[in-house]
Amino acid sequence: MTPDYAAILATIHAEVQPLLSEGKVASYIPQLSTVAVDQFGMALYCLDGSTYEVGAAQQKFSLQSITKLFALALAFSREGDAIWARVGREPSGNPFNSLVQLEYERGKPRNPFINAGALVMTDILSTRFVQSDVAVLQFARSIAAEAGIDFDLTVAQSERETAHRNYAIAHLMKDFGNLHNPVSTVIDSYCRQCSISMTCAELAKAGSFLAQHGTVPWSGLQILDRSSAKRLNALMLTCGTYDAAGDFAYRVGLPAKSGVGGGILALVPGELAVAVWSPGLDATGNSLAGTYALERFTTLTARSIF
Ligand code: GLU
């Protein structure tokens, strides 16, 4: 039986209100710290085309690390298993921007969702496309069917000015031979890619091809074959929510990708994509109210992959 999604979203919206002041907006990218913390939006895109939303679901926010999922999907769709020669598929157990492991693992990042791995994806796309960030933007526009999706160049500039750690990661990988393009090209493209903004409604629609086993539900366009989509879902489950992927799987039970802008995209394979946004983060960098909202969503709908 289909759950009463409208009623469930309304319940969740009421339940998260006390949490909205508890998280902290990301401040290491200065422009992100200007966002008011007490905001919340949530949207569903069901594979039958029905949509539901609550709160600030039409408010644009900075996708940040969620764009790593789109970059990975694009690179995987073009390069296939060749990407695994340059990036692993294991959780790192370290902060997303850590350099420590990269040194003793000789420049091969643990997975495509930590910054080092995402920079390798940007490098792969930079070799294939004139501008990798524009390729990711066009990909995002096409899977969301929204031509208005764009970079937030103020956020991109703010990140580039403070990207010391990402420069360090990129230089280290360059030294190990795992970055083929100039460091400045890769960092510039990566910062613009991370600045792509979407609403929850757009993000749920954009992610729905991963819920429909690699095929865009409304157009029938196959982005990934079924097996590849399964693999990306598996990576989201094990590596998609920073160091908290184990706890997130325990609490929510869905493959998901989060970003420091406060967004989370989660998938119920075969049924729907759900996007949630609340900019206050918990200590692990995931949206505090967003994680709680997804936990309540899977509890109230009895939907999970387990
Ligand atoms: N652009 C951010 C960075 O590289 C993305 C971080 C995130 O959302 O996890 O630090």
User: Hey, what are 261's tokens?
Assistant: 């802008």
Mutate to test the pocket of ligand 1, among 25, 31, 65 (most ligand atoms within 8 A of CB): 65
Q: Considering only CA atoms, which of 270, 295, 232 is closest in space to residue 19?
A: 295
Kindly name the residue from 260, 268, 274, 276 that is annotated as catalytic. 260
Of 242, 258, 268, 276, which one is the catalytic site residue? Answer: 242
Share of the chain above pLDDT 90, in %: 97
Q: Answer yes or no: is the C-beta of 159 below 6 A from any ligand 1 atom.
A: yes
Q: Is the pLDDT of residue 1 over 90?
A: no
Average pLDDT, the chain: 97
Length of the chain, please?
Answer: 306
Q: Find the angle CA(59)-CA(65)-CA(68) to the nearest 5 degrees.
A: 115
- 45 classed as catalytic: no
Residue 257, beta-bridge partner list: 265
Contacts with 290 (C-beta within 8 Å, 6 or more apart), sequence order: 40, 258, 262, 263, 264, 276, 277, 278
pLDDT tens per residue, range 242-260: 999 999 999 999 999 999 9
User: Whole-angstrom Cα distance, residue 43 to residue 136?
Assistant: 22
Express as a percent the part of the chain with pLDDT over 70: 100
Residue 93 has pLDDT above 90, yes or no: no
Going along the chain from its start, the domains and CATH numbers come out as 5-61+199-301 (3.40.710.10), 65-194 (3.40.710.10)
Residue 44 bridge partners (DSSP):
52, 274
User: Residue 166 Cα, ligand 1 centroid: separation in angstroms?
Assistant: 9
Q: Which helix (H) or strand (E) holds 44?
A: strand 41-46
> What is the model's pLDDT at position 87?
98
Torsion 131-137-138-139 (CA) sign: positive
What distance in Å separates the CA atoms of residue 116 and residue 58, rounded to the nearest whole number?
Answer: 31
Is the minimum distance from the CB of 97 to ligand 1 under 6 angstroms? yes
Going by the DSSP 8-state scheme, the letter that residue 131 receives in this structure is -
Please identify, by atom number, the ligand 1 atom nearest to the C-alpha of residue 28. 10
Q: What is the pLDDT of residue 95?
A: 85
Residue-level pLDDT at 247: 97
Interval 179-225: pLDDT, tens: 999 999 999 999 999 999 999 999 999 999 999 999 999 999 999 99
| Nearest alpha carbon to residue 136 among 184, 191, 74 | 74
Alpha-carbon gap, residue 216 to 218, rounded angstroms: 6
Ligand 1 site, residue 67, Cβ cutoff 6 A: no
Q: Virtual CA dihedral for 274, 55, 49, 205, nearest 10 degrees?
A: -50
Tokens matching residue 70: 């789109």
Quote the ligand 1 centre to 131 CA distance (angstroms): 19
Tell me how far CA of residue 41 lies from CA of 29, 139, 182, in angstroms: 22, 24, 38
Q: How many Å separate Cα 167 from the centre of its chain? A: 21
Most distant CA pair in the chain, distance: 55
For residues 286 and 241, what is the distance between their CA atoms, to the nearest angstrom?
7
242 is catalytic: yes
pLDDT tens column, 53-62: 999 999 999 9
Catalytic residue among 5, 52, 62, 68: 68
Supply the pLDDT for residue 97.
Answer: 87
Q: How far is CA 161 from the centre of its chain?
A: 22
pLDDT tens for each residue of 201-211: 999 999 999 99
**Given this model, what pLDDT does residue 55 score?**
98
* Confidence band for 94, pLDDT divided at 50, 70 and 90: confident
Where on the phi/psi map is residue 182: left (φ > 0), alpha (ψ -120 to 50), or beta?
A: beta
